[in-house]
Amino acid sequence: GFHLTSLSLHLLAAALLFYLARDTLAGPRLPAAVRQLAIGLAAAIAMVWAVHPLTTQAVTYIYQRIELLASLCMLTCLLATNRVWHPTEQTDRLLGWKLLALAAACLAMLSKETAVVLPLLVLLQGWLLTERPAVALRQQGRFLLLLAGSWLVLFAVLLAQRQHYAEIEKAVHPPLAYLLTQAGVIVHYLRLVVWPSGQCLDYDWPLADSPLTVWWQGPLVVAGVVATASGLWRRQVWAFPAAGFFLVLAPTSSLVPVADIANEHRMYLPLACLLGLTIPAGWWLMVSRTGDGSQQATRRLFAVAIFGVTAVLGGITHNRNTVYASRWAMWTDVLAKRPENPRAHWFTGLMLAEQGQTDEALAHAGRATRLDPFVRAYQQLGQIFSDAGDRASWERACREGRATLTALGKAAAPPTLDLGVGQATALFELGRATEARRLLDELLPEIQQHLPADHGVRFAARLLSLRLQLAAGQPALADARRLLDDAATALGPAHTTTLAAETALAVSLAATGEDAEAEARLRSVLASQQQKPANLPATDAAATTLAGFLKSRDRWPAVGQLWQQLAEDRCQQLGVG
């Protein structure tokens, strides 16, 4: 369903591109040879774009639905504004196109931040494609102001979701170095347009450390920008798709650093701009060389070339789509093409851990961490082993992770302390409480010195300390209540650590004979875990704890009822009768 929806959106976008290209190429400022074949050229542009392998990341990689939606809305807006610039309908129809353009612009801003350039594209559309631009811009001045008002929608989104944008808080890369790097990235994009070989989901593109790194790509991109600026100044029609290419890439390929330096989905709409420039230009050059006398033969030759290119690109796209068939295919492809990519090692390690290949998983986690100490490879491996009940591998992952980070000079870093508490917890659950207490006592001074009071690792350490007290026969009710209150305030009532603290409080209550509150809290934890359908191991653990309490009170009918209800819920979640 997800893929079918994305494919449908892509085909709809291709249809809109066809209509936009047809209307644009039939405009009064285009050469006669282009206007006469506007429909055929528009079909060629839409057809090649629809099957080009450079669109696979936007269409097949589900997360990039945002790219699809933003591009679809931008194409809708440009198609509607093209009708505004070249009105042929009655006034009420013209009003309808304006309303459609405004709605599409707002939806584009809600879809993805790169739509910020849309009002500028509309302005260039009026400047370059109308015969009397000054008159057209003056007549549509109020409409253009309303269209620019869509920026307020984007501003509101950025303001409301500020915490989700790391780039807003501080530059993730030095801006000038990022700009230099984008010269090489843009040339790579252009190479993929012509020769789509070596595509990669996650490039982990290195940052340029000097202008010499892009000694030939930089001048090439600058020459393209200068030529486009010159075309804009002289109002040459080819400058519209050329400017569209640079403008749509600008939010991610200029001075504003984005975490991922290169991503193929960013070429989804710029690719349409390039095809809108090169295919009509290719046709015009063919016609200008052959003359009118052989135009019919030229058309046939051009059609054969387009269909041939489409067939080849379609085959490459089909092969490229196989990479997205599974996580394993996707990340092993990245690893083969970018062996120094930390995320490729990280996610390959996670998949190997899920298959029970502990040694191989830890080897990839170590490689990922040495390449980038900020990845959470060891922590996530530990979580996988913990959920699978393999506490020995969990303890090993935490131990090796601490050793790796310590060797990198990160002994007191939060991830290292997190792994330390994880190792101590795994030791406790392995029945090695003395070792767990010794390790926790070793960690506590570092945790208290380097982490704030509301940090998750401090709560995890307090929780383990409480569990050790309970195991030693010390209920510690006051400590348990204090921990639960603090965790609920700092982390939220549904956080994993908060629920674990509530479980520990319930165990303390049961140990002191307060069965009614203990049972109520255990059932509350189970209900909270059941609200997280993907968290099945935690739900099972909560149910097991509750069942253990009921068994200790000889309430066997309640135990049977609990497991029956849990089984029915699980069958419903998994779609099993």
Cα–Cα dist 135/68, whole Å: 34
pTM of the entire predicted model: 0.87
CA–CA distance, 539 with 337 (Å, rounded to integer): 39
Phi and psi for 455 in degrees, rounded to 5? -75, 145
Query: How far apart are alpha carbons 42 and 22 in whole angstroms?
Result: 5
Cα 136 to Cα 305: distance, rounded to the nearest angstrom: 38
499 and 528 Cβ atoms separated by less than 8 Å: yes
Q: 471, 386, 475, 477: which is closest to 433 by C-alpha?
A: 471
Residue 405: C-alpha distances to residues 171, 377, 398, 408, 460 (Å): 25, 11, 11, 5, 20
Q: What is the DSSP letter of 209?
A: -
- With CA atoms as reference, report the closest residue to 529 among 515, 512, 548, 543: 543
State the Cα–Cα distance between residues 493 and 78, nearest whole angstrom: 47
What is the pLDDT tens value at each position of the chain, 577 positions in all? 899 999 999 999 999 999 999 999 999 899 888 999 999 999 999 999 999 999 999 999 999 999 999 999 999 999 999 999 988 755 557 889 999 999 999 999 999 999 999 999 999 999 999 999 999 999 999 999 999 999 999 999 988 887 777 666 666 889 999 999 999 999 999 999 999 999 999 999 999 989 999 999 999 999 999 999 999 999 999 999 999 999 999 999 988 888 899 999 999 999 999 999 999 999 998 887 776 546 788 888 899 999 999 999 999 999 999 999 999 999 999 999 999 999 999 999 999 999 999 999 999 999 999 999 988 999 999 999 998 989 999 999 999 999 999 999 999 999 999 999 999 999 999 999 999 999 999 999 999 999 998 899 999 999 999 999 988 888 788 899 999 999 999 989 988 889 999 999 998 899 888 999 999 999 999 999 888 766 778 888 899 999 999 999 999 999 999 999 888 887 877 776 5
| Both tokens assigned to 107 | 């939806």
Closest alpha carbon to 188 in 294, 262, 273? 262
Helical ranges in 217-326 per DSSP H: 217-233, 239-249, 268-290, 295-321
